[in-house]
Each structure stands twice: as structure tokens, then as C-alpha cells.
Chain A
Amino acid sequence: MSLRAANDEGARRLPDPQACQRAAEQMLGYALKAGAEGAEVLVRDGAELEVRLRLGEPELIKEAGSRALGLRVLKDGRPAVTYTSDFSDAGLERLARETVELAALAEPDVFAALPAPELMARQVPDLALWDDEVPRLTVEDAIAWTTRGEAAARAFDPRITNSDGASLSRVVGATAFASSAGFSGGYRGSYVSLVVQPIADDEGGKKRNGSWWTGGRFVASLESPESVGETAARRTLAQLGAQKVATCQVPVIFPPEAGRSLLGKLAGVTSGGAVWRRSSYLADREGTEVASSLVNIADDPLIPGAPGSRPFDGEGLASRVNVLVDGGILRTFLCDTYAARKLNRVSTGSAGRGVGGGPHVSTSNLIMRPGGTPRETIERVPEGFYVTHLMGFGFSGVTGDFSQGASGFWVKNGERTMPVSEVTISANFDDLWKNVDAVADDLDTRSSTQVPTFRVSHMTVAGR
């Protein structure tokens, strides 16, 4: 099969932050004219290309652009939120009126207010979030990259017998935000990623899948497809012969691919929203020890070129670095304006926002600072479990009870020996973080939640 180039206007239309900003300001005007005392408008415009290839043949080529607008109004202290993809003047004006009417159904909420004008961002810093090369990636480029990645995985070892394919996805988008509290701004961003997922046959009809990926805002920052494919193959083969282990308590080592989700859960329970809702086990713990002194965590939206960077937050506040955990001490809860007012403090500039809803607390680049220990040293335990993959939803933020499915490797005398699957690991989250007894120097910066390898002195592993 062969393919033709994607080269028409539609596929090449670039998201335009200025046009988005004009639409946001226009809608803001309609909302105020309709009687809102305050309003915020978010506009997103994006284009995506996704190419999936399997066993050398294209499986899916998906290409489209899409845009949407979200509106939040306050009328007599009552909030309402709506969204639309209809950008006609008449459609926007009608939605503005309907949204103001809808607000009458809510009740006055003294905490629901726009941020104080003096807190609004004064400028939109250029955080290097855009690469011209990303939208230039064609369908042919995507097919070439995925072909190379998958071929490298399949050629790596004869035990790689099948493939879940390779896929490349690129997104480019513009975001604009306008608020009657005194802010209007926009920016654009790009992101591209490549993933390869080989499969090997194991005994007893089981198949083993592993995967590896590269991704970033800049094409030039990506790992080569061959390197991604080979790493994916190595990870797949390493799981052949995986077994359950006997139930026990051992040190557990989390490399970034597994530790990332633990850090994300910790961010969830340090969110001001969870705290004022009393649904976090850390609700009363600000200023106290919540992790071992080796643990340092910050949320940093200002890192140039990073996946989670944003020049302003979902309410138009200037982005700033927030230290969450400093030497194990919980320094602050992350807050948007609502959570801050509930907790009688000032927003930390941590509002995230989607087109379909109001602001909520969200992290930007959430980073656990690397320690000074090489990864090999961390693995130097007489016996332990090196977790490469976690499964399931076993976490309660209100109690901190944590129990998830896990797979990875058994470590004996400092060496990864046999692959392990079909076990669970569990601990209370408070103990888990306090029992971190080593942090490596290998920070993984591919995604917006960034962790180095770290070790927890003991957890319960349930298996045979």
C-alpha cells in the first residue's frame, strides 16, 4: 500500500493565538452585555495528526483540526459554565445570554469570585513552547518514523514475534484567555511523541508486551526511532518468564516510569480543592513532615520548553514556582482562587482549565528533585522489588490507603534477577513517602510529572 501526501490547506492551517484571543474578547463583551458582573472565556484551537502503523502497514491515519470555547460567568454571585464549538456571532451572543440565565439556578457563593485585579498576569512570557517543525511533520514523515521504530524493535531479537504497532502523534494548539478581572492573552504550543510496542510470546500462551516512548515540544529533542524501538524490545524481552513471588515485605524501588504516578497522587492530596473538601489525609498537615527529608517537590510552570509549562494559569494569574515539599516538610497546598478563598489565603496561581468546565487546581511541571545517588547504588539491596509498571485505581486520598497491581523485577544482592508479574504492592501513603530512603540522580523530563528513581524502605508485596 502506498499513501499520498497531506498537503492541502485544511491540514496545514496553523492555530492562531491572536484569532483565539479576539474570539475570547468578543465573547467576554457579549457576556458583560448580557448582564454578567464578571466573566472568563477560554478558547482552544488545535490540530492533530496521529499515525499508527503495525507490522509495517499503516493502520490509522487521523488528521483534523478542532476548536472550542468555554465561558464562565458570575451573576449576583452565582456562577455558571458553558461551552460551544459554534463560533458564529449569533451563536456566541446567544450562548452568553443563556449562560447568564443559567446562573440564576445556582446559589450565591461568596467564594466564587474572579481573582483580585492586582494578581492578574501583566505579561505573557515566552516559554519556548512552540516548534515550527512540529506542524511540518507530514503523514509521510510519520510513516517513516513509525516504520523505523517498529522495524528496529522487530529486528532486535527473534523472540519479538508480534507488535502492537508504533504510533506517532503530533498536536499543535493555541490557547487564549480573557477575563473581566483584567487580563487577555494567548500563546501556542506544540508536542510530538513516538511510541513503539513490541510483543513476545511466553510460555503457557501468555504474551508479553513492553513499550517505550519519546516525546517533547521540539522535534529535535526526540530520541531516534531506532533507539525507541530497541529500548521497547529490550523491555519486552526482559519480561519473559515473569512469575509471582511469595507474599513478603521488602524495599521497593520505583524508576521514573512507575514513580511518576505516585508523585501525581501526592499532588492530588496537596491540592487545595481536596483540602477544603476534607478529602485529603494531608488536610491538617501544612508545615509538618509528610515525607522523608530526602523528598523535595516543586511545581514549576516556567521551565522553558517543558511539557507542562504555561505562561499564565487558568484564571489569568501570572505563573510562579511553588515549593510543595521541602526536605519532607509540606510547605503549601496548591490553590486556585476558589480553594484559596475557602482556605483564607491567596491563590498560588495553580488553576488549570478545560474548555468544558470551570477552573480547578492543577499542576504544571510537577517535579521531584533528583538526589545525589546513582541508580545502581539505589538497587544495592539484599532483596527487593524493582517496579516498572503499576495497574489499577487502588488509592484513597482521604485515608492514604494505597494498593495497586505491579510488575517489574526481583532484586537479589543488588542485581535485577527474575521478572515479576501479577503481584500487588501496598502501604499507607503517609508511610510510603516517609519511608523514602534513597533518591537517584536520573530525573526523567519527558512528561509534565517528573521524578527520579527512588526507593521505599519497605512495602507489602502480595503474591503467592
Chain B
Amino acid sequence: MAISPLDQIDAQLAQRLLAAALEGGAAYADLYFEYAAGAHFGFEDEQVKSVGKGVTLGLGVRALKGDATGYAYTEELAEDRMLEAARTAGRIAASGGAPTPAALETLSTSNLYSVAEAPWERSGAEKVELLRRADRAARAYDPRIVRVEVGLGESLKDVLVVTSDGRMARDFQPMVRFTVGAVAEADGKRQTGRSAGASRRGMEQFSLAGESPEEHGREAARLAIAMLNAEEAPAGPMEVVLGPGESGILLHEAVGHGLEADFNRKKTSNYTDHVGKQVASSLCTVVDDGTLQNARGSINVDDEGNPGRRNVLIENGILVGYMQDRISARHFGTQASGNGRRESFRHEPLPRMTNTLMLAGQESPEDIVKSVKRGVYAKNFSGGQVNISNGDFVFSLTESYLIEDGKLTAPLKGVNLIGNGPEVLRKVVMVGNDFQLSGGTWTCGKDGQSVPVGIGNPTIKISEITVGGTKA
């Protein structure tokens, strides 16, 4: 991104816009300028099937009065249109003296996502070759692979946040995303497998261990083949071992959302008023860490202009604190925690997760599996959902195995696990020493807004959770 339209936004212009947002009496206002460019390449039937690109440019203006938000946006960065958006947002306040915006100071941020090989400077042909390599590897894995689909996405988001209390922060947020899907067919049975990688990097992503096109191709094929002979999963409460990495989805659903400060400020979360209390087994220490180098959920600066941070949510089972945005931090009389995030300039910021993970424990993963007489081993996951109020959550397994007498046996058909956040976390009875950050393409949805997040987990054992199979 050599030239960005955001380069033309200077402090004086920002001050004029903030003054317009505050003129009706709002207590605070901020500006979120965004210029995002992305491209996508799709490959199937051994051919490049789709190529596309797009650009988004806009300004979102937010004005706050108490806990109330006024929000407006414009896609035209002409000053009159921006002033109109600022005044529309400012209408949330009807009276009171208009504060003047503070003098602006540019926030210096860390650099968590340096890009070594910028995708936008590479040729399309080079990217197409990555797709071909994955396709070849997947088809070569097994003759029963009948279809392969590969996708490569790249994006660069340039954001500028300016606040009426004097902060100005600019960030360039890169992302590459690579996905391979494979279909296996044999004896009238059909199965799919998927492997994906995403991070805030450039093309150097594909040189990392496990991230080459071939590795993703083979992994997608392996999964499709492995599940061809999957058996009906059991139904009912069982011991369950979650493999490392992707199983961090448990934390995202079981505690993550419930610890977002807005739900606790409104007392609608089942974790409301639980700070200082035991909410998980003492083996569990859960952090939300926006500062991991190049990770999908990392942020140098959040979408309210606060630096990304590492926040301990649960320490040895005790609830330490919530993930805060500006409105909630003011309510709780604390600092914003670098969790104010939004999908785009069309959206108001909300408390959101970054990379949510459980720290490693002492046990070897082998010992954990060995300790189970009859249960389920969950290896690959597709997604999850939680009801914030009652704490019930589900997550979906795409690769799992029966454990019999401490050994993995039959592969099981796609199945859901269902539990209640605090109840399940109290049943975490073993935590492995094999922490992994998932490299997957995780996207979190809340109030209709999607943001990229990371998850991670060591191998853990849950003494009892309901497995939603068909075999009653």
C-alpha cells in the first residue's frame, strides 16, 4: 500500500470533525478511518476458477454521552460528507456545553506484524502456483480424493483512529488466508476434509512449518479419508480429551464471550459479579493475548486507539477480570484493556477477544489419553456457539475418535459437545504440557460483526461433558 487515501487526513481536519461530533454536547467522540484492499484466488477442478479484488474506504464517527452511542459513517471522504456524518453521530447528545477536542498526540505502537514478503507486490502467477501445489498434493495423497478446492486470500487494512481525548493512532493490518477442501469418495460413502492457515503475515507464511501448500493439501485429504469409515458417535455424558490447538474454541465459547465487559456491565452474563471467585478448576489459567507476534487475532492498537495487551482472565481458576472497551471501562472505573474492536468503519466498537488461550500444564498428552477408559478424543473442530446468559455452549467436532482403554480406536462421525461454561471448566481435570496456538482461519461473530481471532490450548481432559452422538 504505497499510497493510502488516509495519508491526506491531517490533525487539523480530524480536529474539525471531532468538534462537529461534539458540538451537540457529547462527552467524547472518535473517528475511525479505514482503507482496506483485498484480493482472492480460487482454484477447483484443477483450474483457477475465480479471481477477485476489492477496495473499501470509509470513515465511522462515534459520539458518546454516558453509556449511549451515536454512530454514523460515510464512504466519501469529502469534508462536507464527513462533517455531516460527525453531526449525525453527535445527535445522541441533546444538550450541555460542547467540549473541545484535546490536542492530538500520535500513539507509538509496537510492531506485531511485520510483513517480509508483501503479497500485493507479488505476481498473480506466483499465487496461482501455490494453489496448484496444494491441489496436486491433495490429489496425490490418495486416489479416493475426487475433488479439491483451494483458496488464497490477502488483505491489508490501513486504519487511523483519532479520539477527542487527544490520541491519534495509525495501524497497517495485513492478513493472508489459505484454505484447502477435499472430498473423498469410496464405496458409496463421501466425506470432506478441510485444512486452513491464516496469520498477519505476507507470503513468508507459506515457508513456515505446517503452512506449506503441500502440507495443507495433504492434511485436508488425510481428514477426508480418515472420516470415510467414521462410526456413529455415542450420546450422553462422557470423559472427553481435547487435543491441543483448535480446542481453544472451548475457551472462546465457555468463558471468552461471558467475560466480555459489556455483558457484565449490563449484568446479562452468567459470570456477572464473579471477579475474585473460582470459576474454573485450579489447573486453568486463561489469557486473552493481543500481543502474539503475527497471530491472526493480534492488534498493535485496538479500534478505539488503545494498544493491544495481554490480559489474564482466569488465574488458577479464579476470575481476574473482564475484557474492556471504553464504555465498559468507564463503567467499571478501570482502564480499557485493548479489546475494543469492530468489523469495519460501518460498525461501533465492542469488547471483543483477540487470541484466547489456556496456558500449558504439567501432564504429557500421552498420559492424558492413557488415563481414559472409555471416552472421546477430539482433534479437529469447525466452530461453536454460546448463550451468554445461561452459559450453555456447543462446539462441533470434525475429527474425533473413540478412546477405549487408553487408546484411540474408531473414528467418529461429526458430533457436537454441549456443556455449561463454568460447570465444564470446573471439570478440567488434566492439563497437558503441549500448548499450541491454532493457525486456523477463526472468525468470531457478535452483534452481527465479524472479527478475526486466534485460539489456543494444550491437551486437556474434561471429566464429563455431553457428547451429542446418535448412539443412545
| A contact residues vs B (CB 8 Å cutoff) | 1-4, 6, 8, 10-11, 54, 57-64, 66-68, 79-86, 98, 102-103, 105-107, 109, 112, 139, 162, 164, 199, 202, 205-209, 242, 244, 247-249, 277-279, 281, 283, 356-358, 391-396, 398-399, 401, 403-405, 407, 421-428, 460-464
**Given A398-B183, A405-B393, 4 further pairs, Cβ under 8 A:** A62-B71, A162-B267, A395-B414, A426-B469
In the assembled complex, how far is the CB of residue B34 from the closest CB belonging to chain A, in whole angstroms? 11
A-B contact pairs, 21 of them (CB 8 A): A3-B94, A6-B88, A61-B71, A61-B91, A66-B346, A83-B54, A84-B55, A85-B56, A102-B51, A106-B48, A109-B47, A164-B266, A206-B391, A207-B270, A277-B44, A279-B190, A398-B190, A403-B396, A460-B472, A461-B235, A462-B466
- Given A3-B91, A209-B268, A401-B413; A277-B183 close (CB under 8 Å): yes
CA distance A235 to B392 in the complex (A): 17
Chain A residue nearest to B383 (CB atoms) is A393
- The residue among A10, A63, A207, A248 with the most chain B CB atoms within 10 A of its own CB is A207
Across-interface contacts of B55 in A (CB, < 8 A):
83-86
Interface residues of B in 83-123 (CB under 8 A from A): 84-85, 87-88, 91-92, 94-95
CA distance A79 to B85 in the complex (A): 37
In the assembled complex, how far is the CB of residue B237 from the closest CB belonging to chain A, in whole angstroms? 6
In the assembled complex, how far is the CB of residue B124 from the closest CB belonging to chain A, in whole angstroms? 4
- Given A61-B92, A62-B71; A427-B387 close (CB under 8 Å): no
Across-interface contacts of A391 in B (CB, < 8 A):
385, 387, 392-394, 418
Whether B415 pairs with A403 at a CB distance below 8 angstroms is yes
Whether A1 pairs with B68 at a CB distance below 8 angstroms is yes
CA distance A84 to B384 in the complex (A): 33
- Given A62-B348, A405-B416; A105-B48 close (CB under 8 Å): yes
In the assembled complex, how far is the CB of residue A110 from the closest CB belonging to chain B, in whole angstroms? 10
- The residue among B57, B382, B413, B418 with the most chain A CB atoms within 10 A of its own CB is B418
Interface of B is mostly: strand
Chain A residue nearest to B192 (CB atoms) is A398
Whether A392 pairs with B346 at a CB distance below 8 angstroms is no
CA distance A421 to B55 in the complex (A): 44
Q: Which of B44, B73, B92, B147 contacts A66 (CB 8 A)?
A: B73
CA distance A35 to B233 in the complex (A): 56
In the assembled complex, how far is the CB of residue A232 from the closest CB belonging to chain B, in whole angstroms? 13
CA distance A283 to B88 in the complex (A): 51
- Given A102-B53, A207-B268; A405-B468 close (CB under 8 Å): yes
Across-interface contacts of B394 in A (CB, < 8 A):
391-392, 394, 404-405, 424
Whether B68 pairs with A59 at a CB distance below 8 angstroms is yes
CA distance A340 to B71 in the complex (A): 44
- Given A85-B75, A164-B268, A392-B385; A421-B392 close (CB under 8 Å): yes
Whether A106 pairs with B71 at a CB distance below 8 angstroms is no
In the assembled complex, how far is the CB of residue A404 from the closest CB belonging to chain B, in whole angstroms? 6
CA distance A79 to B68 in the complex (A): 46
Whether A405 pairs with B385 at a CB distance below 8 angstroms is yes
CA distance A425 to B192 in the complex (A): 22
Whether B470 pairs with A396 at a CB distance below 8 angstroms is no
Q: Which of A105, A401, A426 contacts B125 (CB 8 A)?
A: A105
CA distance A405 to B467 in the complex (A): 10
Across-interface contacts of A248 in B (CB, < 8 A):
472
Whether B91 pairs with A462 at a CB distance below 8 angstroms is no
Whether B385 pairs with A206 at a CB distance below 8 angstroms is no
Indicate if B128 sits at the interface (CB-CB under 8 A): yes
Whether A162 pairs with B48 at a CB distance below 8 angstroms is no
Whether B235 pairs with A209 at a CB distance below 8 angstroms is no
Interface residues of B in 325-367 (CB under 8 A from A): 346, 348
Chain B residue nearest to A247 (CB atoms) is B236
Across-interface contacts of B236 in A (CB, < 8 A):
247, 462-464
Whether B88 pairs with A54 at a CB distance below 8 angstroms is no
Q: Which of A1, A67, A112, A244 contacts B466 (CB 8 A)?
A: A244
CA distance A426 to B418 in the complex (A): 12
Whether A249 pairs with B472 at a CB distance below 8 angstroms is yes
Indicate if B389 sits at the interface (CB-CB under 8 A): yes
Q: Which of B74, B270, B346, B414 contacts A206 (CB 8 A)?
A: B270
Whether A58 pairs with B92 at a CB distance below 8 angstroms is yes
